[in-house]
Amino acid sequence: MGEDVVVRVAGLAMHFPITSGLFLQRKIGLVKAVDGVSFAVRKGETLGLVGESGCGKTTVGKCVLQLYRPTSGSVFFEGQDLCRMSEGQLRQVRPRMQLIFQDPGESLDPRFTAADIVGEPMWIQGKAQGPAYRERIAELLSIVGLAPYMADRYPHEFSGGQRQRLGVARALALEPTFIVCDEPVSALDVSIQAQIINLLDDLQQKYGIAYLFIAHDLSVVRHLSDRVAVMYLGKIAEIAGRDALYQEPLHPYTQALLSAVPIPDPAVEAKRVPIILKGEVPSPINPPSGCVFHPRCPKAFGPCPTVVPVLADVSQDHQVSCLLYPPSWPPSAPP
């Protein structure tokens, strides 16, 4: 494992049981929310995780932080496998991993002041007391662009963008090395989105924090991310550097996603032909056999319904899970 890798995920799966019966519940099926996901996040970089709603992005983030205990697979954080740790051991590691929530209004306790919200992680971990506690809160508020005198205000007294800045300050309180950003700007106005994105970028440059940035807005992901992973129905379809993915997408699903992104140039936009995918996203309860994208794929061919593609390198730092590209097809070894 490279020294610059902060988080490495290998074969991650999260299957939620479906039960029936009021008193004597029995399992009748599984929701395969995440099914064999692998990626790495390097020190000081942002890995964007994109895909349609319901593809498993947020579940991946929660599994990485062990808020959900994965069904199978491994999550290595700074060389330690979190999936093999007890709750007590995780408690020692979690200060270095934090989460920024999607909805700043719902993620802040309305009974807490800003000082309580930002200071709670430090109070729980015993990191600061007395004057140092208040000084650290004032410092954190200043870092995220809020005035220290706002410390005694309640969440309803802040705007949406200010509430999200509070969420960022809370995430920074324990000086983490890795933060999962779960669609942190999707609930904000466009002008406020730019401010929060620039704030996250500035914090990364200053503190060297690694981000897993979960989003469905491809324009936002392109602005902030160093590399981008595209998910479909619980699996990774493609991972590549930002420029490589947006300029030369290889997976048919990635090509379809990017064809739907508007370009602010009428001449270019008029010449583009969007790729319209047929049908609907299948249910994760009963995903298709073989390549999960094959029922909707405009380039599907013979083996797609039966052969499961692997996420394989097709060029330097560019991986794709598609039978159109070797070594996914023909298979190099029997399953």
Query: For 175-240, what is the HEC assignment?
Result: CCCEEEEECCCCCCCHHHHHHHHHHHHHHHHHHCCEEEEECCCHHHHHHHCCEEEEEECCEEEEEE
Q: For the chain, percent helix, then strand, then coil, each to nearest 5? A: 35, 25, 40
Please write the tens of the pLDDT for every residue from 143-196: 999 999 999 999 999 998 999 999 999 999 999 999 999 999 887 888 888 899
Confidence of residue 1 (pLDDT cuts 50, 70, 90): very low
Please write the tens of the pLDDT for every residue from 43-66: 999 999 999 888 999 999 999 999
- Phi, psi torsion values for 98, nearest 5 degrees: -135, 170
Confidence of residue 31 (pLDDT cuts 50, 70, 90): very high
At 3 the pLDDT is 62
Cα–Cα distances (Å) from 318 to 107, 215, 237, 240, in that order, read: 35, 20, 11, 4
Arithmetic mean of pLDDT, 240-264: 89
Lowest mean pLDDT among 93-97, 300-304, 309-313, 327-331: 327-331
DSSP 308: P
Lowest mean pLDDT among 126-135, 277-286, 317-326: 126-135
Which residues, 6+ apart, have CB-to-CB distance to 325 below 8 Å? 250, 312, 314
The residue extents of the domains of the chain are 5-19+31-108+177-184+213-320
Fold entry, domain 5-19+31-108+177-184+213-320: Rossmann fold (3.40.50)
At 14 the pLDDT is 96
Please write the tens of the pLDDT for every residue from 86-116: 999 999 999 999 999 988 888 899 999 999 9
CA–chain centroid gap for 109, Å, is 24
Residue 201 corresponds to which tokens in the numbers above? Answer: 């970028």
3-state secondary structure at position 156: helix
Cα–Cα distances (Å) from 42 to 75, 128, 208, in that order, read: 14, 29, 10
